Amino acid sequence: MRLTYVFQRVVLLLAIMWMAASINFVLPRLATGRDPIRERILSESARGGGATNIGMTEMVAEYRKQFGLDEPLPKQYVTYLWNTLRFDLGKSLSNYPKPVMRLISEALPWTLGIVTASTLISFTLGTILGALIAWPRAPRILQYTVPFLLTLSAVPFYILGLILIYFFAFQLKWFPIGGGYPIGTIPAFTLAFFGKLVYHALLPSLSMILASTGGWALGMRGMMVTIQGEDYMNYAEAKGLPDRRIFFGYAIRNALLPQTTGLALSLGHIVAGAGLVEVVFGYPGIGSLLGESITRFDYTTIYGIVFFLIVSLGLVLFILDMLYPLIDPRISYE
Amino acid sequence: MTAAASQSAGQAATLRVRNLRVDYFTDAGRLRACDDVSFELGPGQRLGLVGESGSGKSTIALALMQMIRPPGKVGGQVFVENDELTAMNDAEIRSARMRLIGMVPQAAMSALNPVIRVRAQIADVLQVHEPSLTSAQVRARIAEVLEAVELRPEVANLYPHELSGGMKQRICIAIAVALRPKVIIADEPTSALDVVVQRQVMDTIGRLQREMNIAVILIGHDMGLMAQFVDHLAVMYAGKLVEIGPTRELFARPTHPYTHMLISSLPTLGQKGVFRGIPGITPSLLALPSGCYFRTRCPHAMPVCTERAPETTSHGSDHASACHLADVEGGLAGRIAIEAGSATVRAGGFE
Ligand SMILES: Nc1ncnc2c1ncn2[C@@H]1O[C@H](COP(=O)(O)OP(=O)(O)OP(=O)(O)O)[C@@H](O)[C@H]1O
Ligand code: SF4
Ligand SMILES: [Mg+2]
């Protein structure tokens, strides 16, 4: 029974990938009246000095052949899907002939680093804080954090990023203005370089942590208030269990279920926010790569990134979905 | 009210409740859900606590467990043998729960934590109250209590959603007896179960309380069930204990009109087709009538009932009630006898 469900979910994941790829294939071809190859050659030759139309038609034809654009559409489609399946997302237009997949895989570790770290930290912090705020026998002083959290949760990541840059990097100069590591250093697997990495990642991560902790805390607070009205909470009191045990084993344990669903639902929001934070901080991740590609009209890279994001979100949701029965025994996918 | 349900006066009572009072402070005003309730319970006794919905039965249960939370406030004293629960601090009262005074919850269907296994839910009670137990001993005790409530030991490995209603109730009973407390309060333990399972669960509770000599307070509406199960009966109305006494005596010679009406509202085969409920509705605890709270629905109300609240009068060693009819010649029985003549005329056919 379990296996059938896993199988269904895998099929769904593949379907999402196929749809994402198909949209990527169709969209550029819908832009009628534009010829990307011709435009590209024109802009390249213009940069080389003096635009010329001599041999243009031949050149365009040659390139079209190279990109396979002279083939019939169905054949192009099959080739495209096959390439996508092999993670070949084509070559970047602005960094020609660098493959898009190479660009993505170079940028990915940066994004993965700060997004994972700050999401884990803010989720954990916010969840515990929210649980304590709602707990009658926790220190009352925590109540005063609520207005502060409410404000923070309403501020978008990137605005907070700009504020942090202004004060801590620009005015106080405690942190670098941007970048993933100091310009001029060569990435290496040394402790010193790792320290520099963390130092550069601190401010962008902080803006994401500050902006999202409030949301997690408020969500958790609401959940905890609801759960305290449940019969099993009263019964836990009647059993004479110590407060700590009831808090962790009964209240948090049950409130965590909707909270985890919340995490799954807001993944897209987190990734989008992280992208903007990267742009603000000039952090060399996927967000910045996407930003640059947009300004340079690097279509292949843009499509590649969008495809990649869709697939990875699908993948993370798939993993969360598979983990859900572990935290909630009532869900067994039977 | 100070009636003693304890049979032998010399023997120390297992549970002593003195002037128990619970006030809820709501936006609409103060509401006294338990008004000066006193009673005693001897070892191994079974006391039934009946009364309409909202009369304060669960409030008493929570007050005995010291579980009334703001906006509620408790007054009075509760003793289990020589320990005064009302004088305990938070740590002491937590250690007294389930160890001195156990509870079978009103909502057994939803009383178990849905995300942890039955084993862990029995184990945590054992471990908290008897920290010296080794994990092997805990394991053995779990199997033992499950057997005591007629469940297979494998049930420990299940989650609550995998259990039937009767099984969940049995788990709650297993937890309640796991530490062999002196007193168990069972708040409508079978109200969500079908009649057959209800019967089996009550048998299990009865057998265990007899074996372990536990005093039981059984809360419920069902006078029929009470008649079969408890040896003493306490009747509540609008937060007050209006009558208490041995079950047989209460059924044979009720001295409070409300008790009488509760008993005669029981359907019997001879009275097929006649449904005699109690006319009128319970007054709101926020707007109680003057004098006797029951006077708005009492067929025997007299002028004095409006003026002052009735005192508790004893009708034998452990039978007492609070009604002005105690001062009238013949009491309630006399009144009923007088009215009986006209009643038989009407009882000819279907009403
Ligand atoms: N937390 C609370 N705040 C305010 N009022 C309360 C609270 N809990 C109970 N009450 C009131 O106390 C009164 C007695 O309630 P209680 O639950 O003890 O009744 P009950 O006899 O157990 O009824 P039932 O048979 O329906 O279980 C009711 O009028 C109820 O409205
Ligand atoms: S005191 Fe009066 S009103 Fe109250 S129950 Fe007795 S007779 Fe009825
Ligand atoms: Mg109740």
d(CA B11, CA B286) in angstroms, rounded, equals: 40
Does residue A15 belong to any structural domain of this protein?
no
Instruction: Check: CB of residue A233 under 8 Å from CB of residue A246.
Output: yes
pLDDT score recorded for residue A302 = 87
Q: Which residues of B touch A257 (CB under 8 A)?
A: 115
Position with higher pLDDT, A63 vs B232: B232
Mean pLDDT for the stretch of residues B310-318: 88
Q: What CATH number corresponds to the domain at position A128?
A: 1.10.3720.10
The phi, psi pair for B249, rounded to 5°, reads -65, -40
**pLDDT higher than 80, residue B8:** no
Helix ranges, B213-308 (H): 223-229, 247-252, 257-264, 303-307
Q: How far is the CA of B264 from the centre of ligand 2 (A)?
A: 17
pLDDT score recorded for residue A53 = 67
Q: B129 CB near a chain A CB, below 8 Å?
A: yes
Mean pLDDT for the stretch of residues B223-241: 92
Closest-CA residue of A relative to B95 is A240
Instruction: Return the domain boundaries, chain B.
Output: 250-340
Q: Which residues contact A238 (CB under 8 A, 6 or more apart)?
A: B65, B67, B97, B98, B103, B105
Query: CB distance A330–B161 less than 8 Å?
Result: yes
Ligand 1 atom closest to residue B239's alpha carbon, by position in its atom list: 14
Predicted TM-score of the model (pTM): 0.82
Confidence of residue B70 (pLDDT cuts 50, 70, 90): confident
Confidence of residue A213 (pLDDT cuts 50, 70, 90): very high
| B136-189: pLDDT as tens digits | 999 999 999 999 999 999 999 999 999 998 999 999 999 999 999 999 999 998
Range(s) of the domain holding residue A175: 107-297
Task: Select from A227, A228, A232, A327 the residue whose CB has the most chain B CBs within 10 Å, as the one to mutate to test that interface.
Answer: A232
pLDDT score recorded for residue A121 = 94
Does residue A238 belong to any structural domain of this protein?
yes
Kindly report the protein residue whose alpha carbon is nearest to atom 3 of ligand 2: B295
Q: Which residues of A touch B95 (CB under 8 A)?
A: 240
Percent of chain A whose predicted confidence (pLDDT) is above 90? 21
Position with higher pLDDT, B48 vs B330: B48
Does residue A93 belong to any structural domain of this protein?
no
What ipTM did this prediction achieve?
0.86
Does residue A75 belong to any structural domain of this protein?
no
Chain A residues interacting with chain B (CB cutoff of 8 angstroms): 230-232, 234-242, 245, 249-250, 253-254, 257, 327-330
Does residue A169 belong to any structural domain of this protein?
yes
Point out the residue among A230, A242, A330 whose CB comes nearest to the CB of B128: A242
Position with higher pLDDT, A216 vs A299: A216
Q: B110 CB near a chain A CB, below 8 Å?
A: yes
Q: Which residues of B touch A236 (CB under 8 A)?
A: 113
Instruction: Check: CB of residue B124 under 8 Å from CB of residue A247.
Output: no
Does residue A216 belong to any structural domain of this protein?
yes
Number of compact structural domains in chain A? 1
Q: Which strands form B29-41's sheet, in the order they lie side by side?
A: B29-41, B15-26, B72-80, B83-84
Q: How far is the CA of B341 from the centre of ligand 2 (A)?
A: 22
pLDDT score recorded for residue A49 = 61
Q: B98 CB near a chain A CB, below 8 Å?
A: yes
Does residue A262 belong to any structural domain of this protein?
yes
Instruction: Check: CB of residue A122 under 8 Å from CB of residue A212.
Output: yes
**pLDDT higher than 80, residue A37:** no
Does residue A151 belong to any structural domain of this protein?
yes
Q: How many CB atoms lie within 10 A of CB A145?
A: 16
pLDDT score recorded for residue B185 = 95
Instruction: Check: CB of residue A208 under 8 Å from CB of residue A277.
Output: yes
| B251-275: pLDDT as tens digits | 999 999 999 988 887 766 555 555 5
Q: B157 CB near a chain A CB, below 8 Å?
A: no
Instruction: Check: CB of residue A258 under 8 Å from CB of residue B137.
Output: no
User: To the nearest whole number, what is the mean pLDDT of chain B?
Assistant: 87
**C-beta B59 within 6 A of ligand 1:** yes
Position with higher pLDDT, B191 vs A256: A256
**C-beta B26 within 6 A of ligand 1:** yes
Q: How far does B94 lie from chain A, in Å, by closest CA?
A: 4
Ligand 2 atom closest to residue B295's alpha carbon, by position in its atom list: 3
